[in-house]
């Protein structure tokens, strides 16, 4: 399903960056033709989701949110550098679905967009609880990996690293990216711990008979290969 996102943001640098990064996720980003008539552009574009800045020329975001709400139930995410609780309460009362504070990380915004789209359009719900890899079953719910009736006991970090690698099967995942993902998951490890974890993970996989399934690419990262 192709998603069209309508971003009402007067800062061109932010708008262009969002357009690029959301575009990579297959979302089409459009903006209003002019800030005098955001509603008109909204009706022409018919987007699946609206991202709305609060401070805008002519009228503010609250105004346009009210106008849009009068004619549509489209999900709206507010974007603002203001952090007063009143602003958040206001936007929720205007019918906003979420509130993101500037400056934000693009992955945070993306996660919120995806969560909102999933809730409203039941989109992208085909994520499974089990990954298959070289004949082994990785049970994401219970946190175990099983092959031929044998089970490996992985620590949380090891399991997390394994999932990251297997989800990007046959592609190199850089150490930086793995650490970044670990941090996003509130596991604040450093380089050394990552090395230790990968070594232990490899050892446990060897016991399962998957000794060469995770390769080290010197200076680049790791890759979970299909044997």
Partner 1 sequence: MFWAYVNDMKSWVFYFIAALGAADVLLWLDAGLAVELSSLLYMNALLLIALALFIIWRYRRETAYSRQLVRLEGEAAADWHELLPEAKFKRDEQMNQVLQAAAASMAAQLNELRQQNLIQADYTAAWVHEAKAPLTAIRLLIDSNRSAPGMQRIEAEWLRLFLLVDQQLYISRLSSLEADYAVDSLMLKDVVAPEVRELMAWCREKDLEIELDGLDINVLSDKKWGRFVLRQILSNAVKYSPEGRTIHISARTDSTGHSILRVQDEGPGIPEHDLPRIFDKGFTGGTGRLHNAATGLGLYLAKTVSDKIGITLSADSRTGHGTTMEIAFPLENDFDHIRK
Question: Considering the complex, what minimum distance in angstroms separates the CB of residue 79 from partner 1?
Answer: 9
Query: Taking a C-beta distance cutoff of 8 angstroms, is the pair 100, 92 a contact?
Result: no
CA distance 29 to 17: 11
Our CB check for partner 1 shows the closer of 144 and 189 to be 189
CA distance 129 to 188: 25
Query: Distance of alpha carbon 61 from its chain centroid, rounded?
Result: 25
Our CB check for partner 1 shows the closer of 19 and 63 to be 19
Query: Taking a C-beta distance cutoff of 8 angstroms, is the pair 117, 106 a contact?
Result: no
Our CB check for partner 1 shows the closer of 178 and 208 to be 178
Question: Considering the complex, what minimum distance in angstroms separates the CB of residue 29 from partner 1?
Answer: 12
Query: Taking a C-beta distance cutoff of 8 angstroms, is the pair 51, 26 a contact?
Result: no
CA distances from 157 to 33, 152, 195 (A): 48, 14, 11
Question: Considering the complex, what minimum distance in angstroms separates the CB of residue 159 from partner 1?
Answer: 18
Q: What are the structure tokens assigned to 215, written together?
A: 């390769």
Binding site for partner 1 (CB under 8 A): 11, 13-14, 17-18, 20-21, 24, 55, 81-85, 102-107, 174, 176-177, 179-180, 183-184, 186, 188-193
Find the radius of gyration of the CA atoms of the chain: 22
Our CB check for partner 1 shows the closer of 39 and 172 to be 172
Question: Considering the complex, what minimum distance in angstroms separates the CB of residue 213 from partner 1?
Answer: 25
CA distance 147 to 214: 16
Question: Considering the complex, what minimum distance in angstroms separates the CB of residue 201 from partner 1?
Answer: 18
Question: Considering the complex, what minimum distance in angstroms separates the CB of residue 49 from partner 1?
Answer: 18
Helix (H/G/I), strand (E/B), else coil: 209? coil
CA distance 47 to 28: 9
Query: Taking a C-beta distance cutoff of 8 angstroms, is the pair 3, 28 a contact?
Result: yes
Question: Considering the complex, what minimum distance in angstroms separates the CB of residue 11 from partner 1?
Answer: 5
Our CB check for partner 1 shows the closer of 104 and 121 to be 104
Our CB check for partner 1 shows the closer of 67 and 177 to be 177
Our CB check for partner 1 shows the closer of 66 and 180 to be 180
């Amino acid at each position: 399903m192709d998603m069209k996102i309508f971003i009402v943001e007067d800062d061109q640098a932010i708008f262009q960056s969002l357009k690029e990064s959301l575009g990579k996720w297959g979302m089409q980003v459009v903006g209003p033709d002019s800030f005098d008539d955001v509603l008109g552009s909204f009706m022409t574009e018919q987007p699946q989701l609206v991202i709305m800045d609060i401070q805008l020329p002519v009228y503010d975001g609250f105004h346009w949110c009210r106008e849009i709400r009068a004619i549509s139930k489209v999900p709206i995410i507010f974007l603002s550098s203001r952090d007063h609780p009143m602003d958040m309460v206001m936007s929720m009362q205007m019918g906003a679905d979420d509130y993101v504070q500037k400056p934000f990380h693009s992955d945070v915004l993306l996660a919120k967009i995806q969560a909102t789209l999933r809730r409203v359009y039941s989109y992208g719900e085909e994520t499974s609880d089990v990954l298959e890899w070289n004949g082994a079953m990785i049970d994401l719910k219970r946190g175990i990996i099983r092959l031929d009736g044998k089970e490996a006991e992985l620590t949380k970090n090891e399991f997390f690293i394994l999932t990251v690698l297997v989800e990007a099967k046959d592609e190199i995942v850089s150490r930086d990216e793995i650490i970044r993902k670990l941090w996003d998951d509130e596991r604040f490890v450093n380089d050394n711990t990552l090395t230790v974890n990968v070594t232990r993970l490899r050892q446990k996989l060897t016991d399962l008979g998957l000794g060469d399934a995770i390769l080290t690419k010197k200076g680049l990262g790791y890759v979970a290969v299909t044997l």
